[in-house]
Amino acid sequence: MTTRTATRNLLVRRLLDLALRDCRYGATCPTPRSVLFILPAIIRAMTFIENEHRTELRTRQDRLLRELLRATWGSNTFVTNRLQAAGIGAEQIQELSSDELLARLPFTTKAELVADQAASPPYGTNLTEQRSNYSRLHQTSGTTTGVPLRWLDTPASWQWVMSCWQQLWRIAGLKPTDRLFFPFSFGPFLGFWAGFEGANRLGNFCMAGGGMTSSARLRMMLENDITIVCATPTYALRLAETAQSEGLDLAASAVRMILTAGEPGGSVPEIRQRIEAAWGARVCDHWGMTELGPLAIECEASPGGMHVLETECIAEIIDPQTLAPAVADGEGVRRGELVMTNLGRIGSPLIRYRTGDLVTIDAHACSCGRALLRVAGGILSRVDDMVIIRGNNVFPVSVEAVLRGFAEIVEFRIEVRTERAMSQMKLIIEPAVTLSVVAASRLQSQVAQAVKDRLNFVPEVELAECGSLPRFELKGRRFVRT
């Protein structure tokens, strides 16, 4: 029995003793009768696995990793071939320490998964069971490689996805009375399918908003007293823009939380502040991938970052150039590419998967009290999105953060082209319809100066006609290489 388990059992016994004494002595007993009512909640809170100490998390991860490798060895062609190439068999799975075992496992890349599915269409060889045992199919957007990944789940793997969401919703602060709205078209994208069903299984009211205009979605949201809206940061801002044009006061609605996912932005201060100001509600950032599952979310206590759900995965931070573990700086902060191993999606697992997402790990304990790894500032950007402009490493999300600081900009586009072996950046901005020609010209100069001040280069800035730039429902595609 672990120290935490023993402590928990002792506390529960003492609370039970107090509650029983309260029953025996009634009003004459100094023990508050409310102990009887809070005891079930205390027991539930203490037994939630996402609240475990790090020693217990490590023990759980070690056990689940070995179980995963045993379950896939010999039955999953993709995993087995990679383990054999690394010299890992049943003996190594049993005898190596968890750190040694993990270090021996090869990285997995999206390019390798795409190649595997191309060689063995349509689903590839990363399948642990017979194809007939799989009951769900989801698919990536294909924005990274140009080719979507198809991902199958067995009923057991889908149940694991649901267990992830149960933990994530608790961390986010979901209440039994919350009413959730998912204003997007339910295609093969995993994220909001899983979030919808996860909240619904907890007993919450969940409403889908597919196949509707933004105006119709806003009316539906208001008419049904929605308290949580789940959307990409891009679409949360688009709904706010539509509401403003129609004279709707979102801040006066019942909405208290905007859960954002699908793209960086929910943890970027400028984007976050803009969403919160428009909605009068708290932004809660979430991260996951179709091929990995839902594995990170923001807690109520510490806005602007996310906890990684280490109960269900192993997270590593590496230098994307050397592939070695990222080294902490003088303040103990580690920055690098996020590498993930999901531990419960046995039907189609991913081992040491290079996500391509850049993160900074918060070295300080979170005020919520959880020991889970915390990503400070959310997902910073994509490794492959970085461009070098006049010697400066520039990420599109950094440029977006500057542009979102201007309330007069309603939409934008970032174009990068190569001239004489050098990258050049052009920002196309769409000003608010209320701006005069003089004010729009002044905005153009202000944007160029702001980028220079923040990012150390001067971009070309071009004005677009009002309403000419595209709007997006899911992931915004504003970054274009020409």
Is pLDDT at 31 greater than 50 in this prediction? no
In tens, the pLDDT along 422-451 reads: 788 999 999 998 899 999 999 999 999 999
Indicate whether 97 and 231 sit together in one domain. yes
How do residues 235-294 score in pLDDT, each as one tens digit? 999 999 999 999 999 999 999 999 999 887 888 888 899 999 999 999 999 999 999 999
Inter-residue contact 279 to 255 (CB < 8 Å): yes
Record the tokens describing residue 153, joined without a space: 């789940």
254 and 299 fall within a common domain: yes
Domain end call among 383, 405, 438: 383
The DSSP code for 8 is H
Q: Cα(365)–Cα(28) distance, rounded to whole angstroms?
A: 42
Query: Residue 462 above 70 pLDDT?
Result: yes
For the stretch 331-356, pLDDT in tens is: 778 999 999 999 999 999 999 999 99
User: pLDDT grade, residue 145 (50/70/90)?
Assistant: low
Same domain? For 204 and 182 the reply is yes
296 lies in the same domain as 420: no
Mean pLDDT of 5-26: 45
Domain-terminating residue out of 350, 383, 416? 383
Average pLDDT, the chain: 88
Question: Both 128 and 243 in a single domain?
Answer: yes
Same-domain check for residues 22 and 59: no
Q: Do 165 and 63 share a structural domain?
A: yes
The domain tally of the chain equals: 3
For residue 94, is pLDDT > 80? yes
CATH code of 71's domain: 3.40.50.12780
Same-domain check for residues 376 and 454: no
Domain end marker among 316, 350, 383: 383
From CA 66, how far away is CA 78, in angstroms rounded? 17
328 with 438, same domain? no
Do 130 and 275 lie in one domain? The reply is yes
410: domain CATH number is 3.30.300.30
Q: Give me the residues paired with residue 180 across strands.
A: 206, 228
Q: Residue 6 has what pLDDT?
A: 46
Q: Given a cut of 70, is residue 40 above it in pLDDT?
A: no
Longest Cα–Cα distance of the chain, Å, equals 88
Tell me the three state secondary structure of residue 421: coil
User: What's the rounded mean pLDDT across residues 305-320?
Assistant: 97
Which domain range does residue 13 map to? 3-47
Alpha-carbon distance of 342 to 34, in angstroms, equals 41
Higher pLDDT, 131 or 43: 131
Do 114 and 32 reside in the same domain of the chain? no
Mark whether 190 and 335 lie in a shared domain: yes
| Tokens read off for 147 | 């080719």
